[in-house]
Structure 1
Amino acid sequence: MLTSNGYVLDERTDRLGSLAETPETERHDREALWERLRAQGYLLLRQQLPRDQVLAFRDFYFSALAGTGLLDDRTHPSEGIAGTGPSDTATYRQVLFDEIVPSREYQEFCTSPAIGGWFRWLLDADVHLHRRKILRHTRPGENGIGTATQAHYDLVYLREGTDRVLSMWIPLGDCPTTLGGLTYLEGTHHAVMAAEREGRLKRPAASITADLPSLADEYDSRWLVADYGIGDVMVHSAHLIHAALDNVDAGGRMRLSTDIRYQRISEPIDWRWQEHWHDRDGL
């Protein structure tokens, strides 16, 4: 049973399906990737990143937060096992926003050849990485409204720049559906693009809903899911509706992920996204 913010996803075949992996034969074919991206609104790229690179950054993140009570101190920080007692929220926020987010390690991870170099190749141009890069961990057992990312599409948060910005969501560790990975509402980028183009859908910078089953009914579409492995990434259009599943991991593991955004440097850039991420930055 899959849930998001406590809502149980409809498992009928016309409401739930699997994400399509990008076949190896297309991985080095730029035109084939663009054709797939335009058709699907996303690319699921298996083992796009070196395993050691992902694990090293995961270790950096969780080790920096050791001692805040966030983690079970009986385990190694890189395991990401949630602590069971109270956490020091003030210290956690200070470490996250003052040390981890602006760190050289985070910047180098997001501009590495498998990420920054790949975007330069795909976009066939000089590229711009938005400075506002988001890191999230979700604890197991939290399933009320607001605990998982609600349904939205990224353009509502990026209206001051190009609508051709691309997002990359990176699970920083193995992420089966039980750990709360992203899910995508199949084909919705076509409807959203049409409505945006015609001026019928000027949505505010806010989520659409936490009720994923009802949204699937509204669009007569399927939520697509996958088990993600270390090194896998999702690249998606700013128009594709997506959300996160609840973390129901029985072993107490937290889901850790980052989402970043690249675009051609020659296209309009949303100036609001050019400062380091903070959860009180109003975006």
Structure 2
Amino acid sequence: MQTTTDLTKAGRPTEEALRRYREQGFVHFTSVLPADEVAVFRAAADRLLAEEGPQTWGASEEQAQVHYVEAAWRKHPDLRRLALHPAVTGLAESLAGGPLRLYGTDVLKKEPRVHLPTVVHDDEPGLPLAGLTRTLTAWIPLLDVPADRGCLVYVPGSHRRPAEHRQVHLAGFQDYRPMEEIWPEFPFSPRVAVPMRAGDVVFHDFRTVHMAAANTDGERRLAFAAVYMDSDATYRPGVQDHPVAHLEPGAPVDGELFPLIAVGPGGAS
């Protein structure tokens, strides 16, 4: 289990944490956000879920894997503050090793004994972006997520599998192929479950294979996810591209809707 010793006094990843992220494709930091801030973010997420009428990830409500509200950072000021929180963005940019922009955020809810396991996937094919090399996701629990509450499960080192074993792009959902079909070694690959406390953050590379089991606990799972993309990413038409569909193919994904993250003393802009 990783501990806060993975952070330097300045709140950046230690060399050991950086090494683990490069090798495994994910890293879990504990106690990144204090409890009082998490309580504010949790209240904002609850309010957004109540107001928005969350969307369903799955073929139907009966096959729902999770309920979510997308673009959450644009819909509530406290969730904007979370998406651009310097404690989170500083870690993201250190792990990525280069400048990043905020691409998108979701509030994610997985109810007990209701939602199905989350399909095995990596984030690359679902991002309508080109020119990606360091894009990553921050997954932040707003309530504790013990192992039986649908915690994330990763396949260590899967981000380094060769291109022929990745589905790099989805032009449409009809092109989706199961992971074991794309990557024959997947069924034999080790998995690592990552139970987390509220206020922890786990980061994973956009090519890291991951999933989540069903929530068999008596309490809901509530989390916030933020995708930070290469600062010079461009638009490539594909699935879930409505946030960028106003752009011409090949155009830079930038501007106020996709802000550069700032990690200096002034925090994020």
Structure 2 length as normaliser, TM-score? 0.67
Deviation at 1:123, TM superposition (A): 4.4
Give unmatched runs, 5+ long, in structure 2: 55-66, 245-269
Q: Does the 8 Å contact 2:30/2:201 carry over to 1?
A: yes
Q: Take 1:134 and 1:188, find their aligned partners in 2: how far apart are those partners?
A: 24
Aligned residues with identical type, % of pairs: 23
**Which residue pairs with 2:5 in the alignment?**
24
Q: Does structure 1 residue 149 correspond to structure 2 residue 118?
A: yes
**Which residue pairs with 1:268 in the alignment?**
233
Q: 2:18 aligns with which of 14, 34, 38?
A: 34
Q: CA 1:166/1:269 → structure 2, altered by over 3 Å: closer, same or farther?
A: farther
User: 5 Å matches for 1:103-182?
Assistant: 103-123=76-96, 125-130=98-103, 132-142=104-114, 147-158=116-127, 160-161=129-130, 162-182=132-152
**Which residue pairs with 1:234 in the alignment?**
202
Q: Take 1:101 and 1:23, find their aligned partners in 2: how far apart are those partners?
A: 30
Q: CA 1:200/1:245 → structure 2, altered by over 3 Å: closer, same or farther?
A: closer
Q: CA 1:22/1:275 → structure 2, altered by over 3 Å: closer, same or farther?
A: farther
Q: 2:215 aligns with which of 236, 247, 268?
A: 247
Q: Does structure 1 residue 258 correspond to structure 2 residue 239?
A: no
Q: CA 1:188/1:98 → structure 2, altered by over 3 Å: closer, same or farther?
A: closer
Q: Does the 8 Å contact 1:26/1:32 carry over to 2?
A: no
Q: Take 1:190 and 1:111, find their aligned partners in 2: how far apart are those partners?
A: 28
* Secondary structure in 1 matching 2:148: helix
Deviation at 1:189, TM superposition (A): 1.9
Q: Take 1:99 and 1:44, find their aligned partners in 2: how far apart are those partners?
A: 23
Q: CA 1:62/1:35 → structure 2, altered by over 3 Å: closer, same or farther?
A: same
Q: Does the 8 Å contact 1:61/1:100 carry over to 2?
A: no
Paired residues in the alignment total 219
* Secondary structure in 2 matching 1:230: coil
Q: CA 1:23/1:54 → structure 2, altered by over 3 Å: closer, same or farther?
A: closer
**Which residue pairs with 1:83 in the alignment?**
none
Structure number with bigger Rg: 1
Structure 1 length as normaliser, TM-score? 0.64
**Which residue pairs with 1:4 in the alignment?**
none
Query: Relative CO higher for 1 or 2, CA cutoff 8 Å, sep ≥ 6?
Result: 1
Q: Take 1:69 and 1:238, find their aligned partners in 2: how far apart are those partners?
A: 28
Deviation at 1:181, TM superposition (A): 1.4
Deviates more, 1:218-227 or 1:162-171: 218-227
Deviation at 1:35, TM superposition (A): 1.9
Aligned AA (1:234): V
Give unmatched runs, 5+ long, in structure 1: 1-19, 71-91, 277-283
Determine which structure has the larger strand proportion and give its number.
2
